[in-house]
Structure 1
């Protein structure tokens, strides 16, 4: 599920650009949520999703395998290999009806911000 564009977005500082490995991910904590943050430097793109794999309910997606499928950026759970679109969170592996929540990301002055619909703005902590 993606954030609704008409919702009020609260941007919180997640980390510095240099904290995220190229073509990989990190986990950022926001209140009681874990958010997986991914960077595709060759494409100049950033993505954020829930860190919880909906298939087996494990906090693992930030350690998942990133890549593309038919030109679409994706992450695959490191345990179950189910792949999810980083654009809209839908499952790409099969007809499973599980999907991920996705979040907008913006970069300002080498700092990474993640948008939360209507959220409060506490300090982020990398998990």
Structure 2
């Protein structure tokens, strides 16, 4: 597994996302209120726009989520599944914090 550093963990604000280009793919990386990091594909499958990194981070039934900033569909940060349309999902990528840097593997 190859890891790509995307940003300094301390630069990420809780409950916010950032977009990173990792091996030619736009990846939305999120830091939740408890300090966990998650990475999803940045493409909103409903609008076709690369905007999920700008979404609203929250929870649904204890599961960390992001709501698309355009049409407000909610996606699990854990599984990538759309919690509003069960046949739709976005890719989930491996993510970790190593030596203070957030790293993603696609």
TM surpasses 0.5: yes
Higher-Rg member (1/2): 1
1:61 equivalenced with 2:52 (yes/no): yes
Q: Name stretches of at least 5 consecutive residues in structure 2 with no aligned partner.
A: none
Q: Name stretches of at least 5 consecutive residues in structure 1 with no aligned partner.
A: 1-8, 117-127
Assess if the C-alpha contact under 8 Å between 2:47 and 2:70 holds in 1.
no
User: Which residues in structure 2 correspond to 1:1-127 (within 5 Å)?
Assistant: 9-40=1-32, 42-95=33-86, 97-116=87-106
| TM-score, scaled to structure 1 | 0.79
RMSD between aligned residues: 1.1
| CA positional deviation for 1:32 | 2.1
Higher relative contact order (CA closer than 8 Å, sequence separation 6+)? 1
User: Which stretches of structure 1, 4 residues or longer, exceed 3 Å deviation after superposition?
Assistant: none
Cα displacement string for residues 98-117 of structure 1 (whole angstroms, at most 9, x for unaligned residues): 1010011111121111112x
Separation in structure 2 between the aligned mates of residue 89 and residue 21 of structure 1, nearest angstrom:
21
Aligned residues between the structures: 106
